[in-house]
Chains A and B, each alone.
Chain A
Amino acid sequence: MPHLIELSGIKKSYQLGLTEVVALRGVDLTVDVGEFTVVTGPSGSGKTTLLNIIGCLDRASAGKYVLDGIDVSDRDFDDLADVRNQKIGFIFQNFNLIPVLNVAENIEFPCSVRPGGEDAATLRARVEKLADEVGLKQYLHHKPDELSGGQRQRVAIARALITRPRLVLADEPTANLDSKTSDQIIDLMLQLNKLEGVTFLFSTHDPRVVKHARRALAISDGQMVDGALAH
């Protein structure tokens, strides 16, 4: 079975004034369908850069990236936007909900920017089902500023899943949550990983998140440390 993610010799460097900053120094990595994986590492180690490249938000300076059988290394911005919309769900540290949209509208938003797509009634039914799964069915008409941090992250999780993505990327998803809410969010993602079969890939500093992961990857100074470490 082909890998969902295949990174070969991925390098990334930035120009900061006259200085070239090397963020990734040749990363090789594969992730299979259905994995629940964390990437750990100290600040500045390159884990966010790695997730940005895997999420098609950024392009590698060198190397090859194949996502779900598609070589996305040289795609242009609009092509990458389509890849993100169709194959990837994002969960952000700061939730990043659209403040003028209510919960239901935030969840369905990624589907609403697709050309064509399913009819409104079917989509609304899926939104309600996902909202129910993340425990927010009674909050469908609430605006983000009427929700707690944990509830907002649940909305973000539902939004990440509404497009039926092959991959969900979460950058420090529990960083702004208390420990009890963090545990609930991790449990929820584990449950969805089993229920929906969606692949989850996290970056985190949080040892509780690492504890729950089935696979942990360490990155340091732009390189994978000791390859892939399985629990």
Chain B
Amino acid sequence: MSSRLPSIAVRNVGRNRRRSLITGVTIVFGVAMVLVVRGFTGGAAKMMVDDVVQGRVGAIQVHKTGYVDNADSVPTRLNLPYDEALRAKMLAVPHVKGVTGRLTFNGLVSNGSQQTMFIGRGMDQAHELEACPKARTLVAKGEPLEAQDGAVAMLGFELGESFKVGPGSMVTLQSTSPGGRSNALDLKVKGLTTSTFPFENKRVVTLPLATAQALVGLDGRVTEYVVAIDDLEHLDETADTLRATLGPEFEVHTWRELQPFVRDIIARQVFVLGAIAFVLFVIVLTGIINTMLMSVFERVREIGTLLAVGVRRRQVMVMFLIEAAVIGALGGAAGVALGRAVVGYFGWRGIPFKLSGVSGSNVMYPFNTLQFTAAAFVVAVLGAVFAALWPAWRASRLNPVEALRS
């Protein structure tokens, strides 16, 4: 390719400015929309994953084998010793950065006049924040649990509101030990928790681990270990290492396996984003095909001249592809700038967000990764080149005699 043909291609972009502008605006709109949609869906997904991984479930959980298959019945009989040796063994696995124990059980909660079923979570506040660093931020009212707390409990905010209780109120929790022995404790409500999941808000009561152990008669025992890792990119690899380290007596699950609801919502968002991106892509491609075909039809004699003075067919084709790439690059760059500006503004400001079918309110922070932004730009350029293939091929196949006669 000579130096003059790319120069002609670039200058041709400005030749019919209105048409190039319309095509460019189509690309700008398409790229910006994809970035905005991705920014918002990504922000929503991150909010949910953060809520799950950093606030509630942790990245990985370790149970006694058979526990998860029977999780609906909250099988406290499948419990594990809570000791430092086991914690240290897990902490020694690469990428593991925190481990805590929990005791999950069920029972009845009463405010003196009403009672309902609840799922209880006894948490070791000495280590909870190592495994779920955002746990303290999920407090709607009152104060989070502390390591020195005793006879206190946190209620999901919808449960608290329906019971008309708040910080300082008293509730009674009833439960049974694995052996069937009933027990009850009067606890002071320390606060109300919030979550993106309605079940958490309506049914979950959180209390200090020792209090929970006393209530269900499982001193020194837990039903699960919650494991935090340094980077979710290493999730499956770390789970595999834990399985190999702990042996068949334990089962290891990732948050995706434990929270399929969240995983499915994110998968749906990815699908919807893909569909939107595809529709925008088709619209943009159609615009570029139209522009390039018009360019070819307008320049038939010029193409004939190029062929006459010795330009090869391949060079004519490349010249039109460069022209399309320039339009794609200019439109893509402007689209990236616009999309990043919109996403950046809302990412800085934050958006109170309510997911469909999910109670509670959280702040969503839209974001785009550099990789996705770069990919959107590259797709804009390659898409423009792809759309121009047929018009460029038509231009290159023109008969010079007929082209010069036009």
Contact = CB atoms under 8 A, between A and B. Distances in A.
Contacts of A101: 4, 7-8, 11
Nearest to A115: B2
Interface centre among A52, A58, A85, A98 (most CB of B within 10 A): A98
Contacts of B394: none
A82 B310 contact: yes
- The range of chain A's interface size is 20 to 34
A101 B6 CA distance: 12
Contacts of B8: 98, 100-101
A59 B401 CA distance: 10
Contacts of A55: 308
B401 A112 contact: no
Nearest to B308: A90
Nearest to B3: A112
A21 interface: no
A81 B312 contact: yes
A112 B4 contact: yes
A58 B309 contact: no
Interface residues of B, number: 25
B310 A98 contact: no
Nearest to A96: B305
B401 A52 contact: yes
Given A96-B404, A112-B3, A113-B5, A90 B301 contact: no
A57 B308 contact: yes
Contacts of A78: 312-313
Contact of A113 (B11, B304, B311, B400): B311
B15 interface: yes
18 contacts: A52-B401, A57-B308, A57-B400, A77-B312, A84-B310, A85-B310, A86-B310, A90-B305, A96-B302, A96-B404, A98-B302, A98-B305, A98-B306, A100-B11, A109-B309, A113-B306, A113-B311, A159-B309
Contacts of B311: 81, 113
Given A81-B307, A109-B309, 16 more contacts: A55-B308, A57-B308, A77-B312, A81-B310, A90-B305, A90-B309, A96-B301, A96-B304, A96-B308, A98-B302, A105-B4, A108-B4, A112-B2, A112-B4, A113-B315, A114-B310
The CB with the most chain B CB atoms within 10 A, among A52, A81, A85, A159, is that of A81
A108 B305 CA distance: 14
A94 B404 CA distance: 9
Interface string A23-42: 00000000000000000000
A224 to B, nearest CB: 21
A65 B8 CA distance: 34
Nearest to B12: A100
Contacts of B5: 112-113
Contact of B15 (A77, A81, A85, A100): A100
A99 interface: yes
Contact of B2 (A58, A92, A96, A114): A114
A110 interface: yes
A92 B15 CA distance: 23
Nearest to B5: A113
Given A96-B302, A98-B302, A85 B11 contact: no
A113 B404 contact: no
Contacts of A114: 2, 310
B4 A92 contact: no
Contacts of A98: 8, 302, 305-306
A127 B282 CA distance: 46
Interface in A134-160: 159
A96 B309 CA distance: 11
Interface of A: 52, 55, 57-58, 77-78, 81-82, 84-86, 90, 92, 94, 96, 98-101, 105, 108-110, 112-114, 159
Contacts of A85: 309-310
Given A52-B401, A92-B404, A96-B404, A113 B313 contact: no
Interface string B1-36: 011110110011001000000000000000000000
Contact of B4 (A57, A58, A109): A109
B404 A57 contact: yes
B162 to A, nearest CB: 73
B109 to A, nearest CB: 79
Contacts of A77: 312-313
A98 B3 CA distance: 15
Contacts of B11: 100-101
A100 B12 CA distance: 7
Interface string B287-307: 000000000000001101111
B37 to A, nearest CB: 37
A110 B400 contact: no
A183 B309 CA distance: 26
Interface in B45-94: none
A109 B307 CA distance: 12
A98 B4 CA distance: 11
B323 to A, nearest CB: 11
Nearest to B400: A57
Nearest to A160: B309
B7 to A, nearest CB: 8
B4 A113 contact: yes
Given A94-B301, A109-B4, A58 B401 contact: yes
Contacts of B308: 55, 57, 84, 90, 96
Contacts of B404: 57, 92, 96
A101 B3 CA distance: 13
Interface centre among B5, B15, B302, B404 (most CB of A within 10 A): B404
A220 B34 CA distance: 65
Interface in B303-331: 304-313, 315
A58 B315 CA distance: 19
B15 A99 contact: yes
